[in-house]
Structure formats: structure tokens, C-alpha cells
Amino acid sequence: MSDMQFGPSKALTFGIELELQILNRRDCDLTRGATDLLREIERGGSQSDIKPEITESMIEVATGIHERHADALAELHGIRDTVVKAADRLNLLIAGGGAHPFQHWSERRIFDKPRFKQISSLYGYLAKQFTIFGQHVHIGCADGDSAMYLLHALGRYVPHFIALAASSPYQQGVDTAYDSSRLNSVYAFPLSGRAPVVERWAGFVDYFEKMRAAKVVESMKDFYWDIRPKPEYGTIEVRVFDTPLTVERAAALAAYVQALARRLLIDRPVTVDDDLYLTYTYNRFQACRFGLEGLMIDPHTHEHVAIHDDIVATCEQLAVDGRELQSTAALDQVARWARERGNDARWMREQYAETESLADLMWKQSRYFRTGI
């Protein structure tokens, strides 16, 4: 029971986790390098939180807890430079992006750690196909009840998050036609989707204990929900972002979630009930498929609106929050991306069109990650 105690944290603080791709410099395919890369980073005396992930072709970097966008961005810059420098010495490339465009999942090697081995034996090919790369944004919550409220209230904005971060148009060597094909891979897991409609923390703990008693799950980690509570950190974790191609976008997206959280906790505009999720999967599909051009349907008014228009409108409503949280610049950037339909999936398709070489696309992605321009 103690592991389901919601350890409160300072409201509206946030942290960012990014899963990054490790590529070889020859043909820019994914390569095995996590162990050596982590050792090299450690040797350089880095204090940053950099961990292995499920395959040897992936590392996860995480920021500390931040209140301001600028601080988080500065830390991300530092982490990025550390990782890129270590990769240089090992002849590796580091890139963002939600999926590798032409990797062959049968070639991936599962990182040598008991939990990863266990996941691999349970899910078989899914675990290796799960060589996909996401950004997670944690938002601090004062208590479990406000965490559950925020989790459900943010559900309406999940299409925004997906569309803004989408960076996995290519998989297995083809254009999937989706802006975010990565989420399709996530949905193949039985415990993906969304959290149950429960408004109070106590109710959620009941649900979880039943699932645990039924031996469906062992810990919160077994849920691959779009947004899930993380009681030991006292946060909720938004998990629908593809890893953006640059840390600048990653930081701006986190600031957008933070500002939204502030507004939602002040206004308390939604009632948590089943109706809230009436159009959820439809909207989410639209965002994955069409990105910022997708349509979202309001579950209550049944009104159709383009995702990009909804983001611009939302950013206008967040002006006060931006000022309070010192993230106006980041919110302006988000609104500009929405107006210009500029997400990373589009950037990738434009770059690919120039040379029609996916290897070259990955080369450019790694350069983009390194420089941010």
C-alpha cells in the first residue's frame, strides 16, 4: 500500500524525460551503444540523470525539477552537449524523433537488465518494435486528488500534445502517412490507452489494488497510459509526445503543459465522467494521422475544430499563465508552430523530399538535435 501513497510535490513544477536514438555514423541505422555511451558520460563526470532504456540503441535523459521554462531549457542544453560530446568520441550519433525510419526490429538487442529481459519475453516482437522514442513531461501536484483531476482535465489536450510533438512519420522504410506512427506501436500493448474515470486518489488506489490482486499488473510501471499518475514523485506524467527533434521544442512543450495545468487547476472547467472520453480515441487518431491539420470533436458540444486552431485559441487563453510562469516566449512559439502547421513530422518529410534518402534524413536529424537549428 505504501507504494501507492501520493507523495505530494510542489504544484506546477515540472520535469522532462527524453528517450534518444543512438545511431552509427555509417548508414545512420540504430546501433548498440548505450552501455559504452553511458560509461563515457560517467567518465566525463556528468551529474545528469542519464539512464539505459529497453534496447541498447536508446538512452533516456531527464532534467531535474524546474519551475521555469528557461531553467529547464538551460539544463537540457547542458545534457544535450554532454551526450553529443561523448557520442562523438565513440563514433556515434544522437538524434531525436519518435521512431527510427528504417530500423529492423529483429536486429535490436534488449538491454541487459532483468526488467527489460522480462518485458522482452512477455511481449515478444512488440518489445523490440517498441524501439520508439518518447518524451515524458511530469507535472507536480499538491495532492492525489488534484493529480487525478488534472490527469482527466488534460485529456482534452492530448491531441494538441500529439500533433505538436509528432516526429515519427516513417517506419520500416516507408512513409506511414501518420505524423506520429509511434503511438500506433504503443496502442498494441494491452495496458495502453487512458486511465479509468476515477476522480479521487482513494478511488484510483482501489482500482490499482484490484488490478494488482488480479495479477494484471505488478506496479504502476506496467500501465502504458497516455497520462498516468506517478505517486512516488507526486506527479502526473504526460507520455504521448514523440521525442522532438530538438531540446528547444521539448522544453516549449513542457512549458505548454505547465501553463495548461495552471489554468485547469484554477478554472476547474470539466466534470470528470465517462462523457469526457466520448471522442477521445477519435481525436487522438486524428492527431496521430493528420498532426496539426487533424480535427478534434468536443465531447459536449459536438463541435468540430481544427487542432491547430484550437491550439492557437488555447495559447491566447493561457496569456496570464504564461506571464505568471515566465513562459510567454515558449507559449508564443507553440502558437506559432500551430499557425504555421510546423511540426517535426513536416520538417522530416520536407528534408526527405530533398534527397529521398532516409539515411540522410537521420543524419540531418542528428545535426538538428546537436545545433537546434
Partner 1 sequence: MSPADFQFLPAWPLAVTPLAWVAVLLLSAIVVGEAMRRFLRLSRVLGYLLVGAVLGPHAAGVLDVETLVTLRVFVDIAVGLLLFELGQRVDLGWLRRNPWLLATSVIEAFLTLFAVYAVMRLFNVPAVTAAAAGVLAIATSPAVVITLVKDLRAQGQVTERVMLLTALNTAYAVVGLALIFGWLHFESANASTLMIAHPLYLIIGSLALATLLAAVMILLLRFFGRRPTFQFAITVAFVLLTVAAASTLDLLVPLTLLLLGMLGRVFDRDRHFVSLRFGQSAMLFIVLLFALAGAGLQFRGWLDALPMALGFIAARYLGKLIPIMLLAKPSSMTARKASLVQLGLTPMSGLALLMMQDFAQQAPVLSQGIAASMYLAITILAFAGPMALQFALVRAGETTEDEQ
Residues 6+ away with beta carbon under 8 Å from 43:
none
Rama region for 21: left / alpha / beta (φ>0; ψ in -120 to 50; rest): beta
Q: Judged by CB under 8 A, which stretch of 25-33, 200-208, 243-251, 260-268 contacts partner 1? A: 25-33
By CB under 8 A, residue 90 contacts partner 1: yes
Distance in angstroms (rounded) separating the CA atoms of residues 152 and 131: 28
Nearer to partner 1, 104 or 304 (CB): 104
Footprint (CB under 8 A) of partner 1, residues 59-88: 86, 88
Pick out residues in 26-55 that bind partner 1 (CB under 8 A). 26-29, 31-33, 35-36, 39-40, 43
Q: Is 103 in the site for partner 1 (CB under 8 A)?
A: no
| Segment lying near partner 1 (by CB under 8 A), choices 71-79, 89-97, 115-123, 235-243 | 89-97
Q: Judged by CB under 8 A, does residue 175 bind partner 1?
A: no
Which residue among 49, 232, 309, 360 contacts partner 1 (CB under 8 A)?
Answer: 360
| Least spacing, CB of residue 121 vs partner 1, in Å | 13
The count of other CB atoms within 10 Å of the CB of residue 149 is 21
- Smallest gap from Cβ 113 to partner 1, in A, equals 13
Query: What span, in angstroms and rounded, lies between the C-alpha atoms of 351 and 234?
Result: 40
What is the rounded CA–CA span in Å between residue 35 and residue 37? 5
Binding of residue 359 to partner 1 (CB under 8 A): yes
Residue 112 sits in the site that holds partner 1 (CB under 8 A): yes
CB under 8 Å to 313, separation ≥6 — which residues? none
Return the number of the residue (324 or 354) whose C-beta is nearest partner 1.
354
Among positions 299-358, residues that touch partner 1 (CB under 8 A) are: 355, 357
Residues contributing to the site for partner 1 (CB under 8 A): 24-29, 31-33, 35-36, 39-40, 43, 86, 88-91, 106-107, 109, 112, 355, 357, 359-360, 363
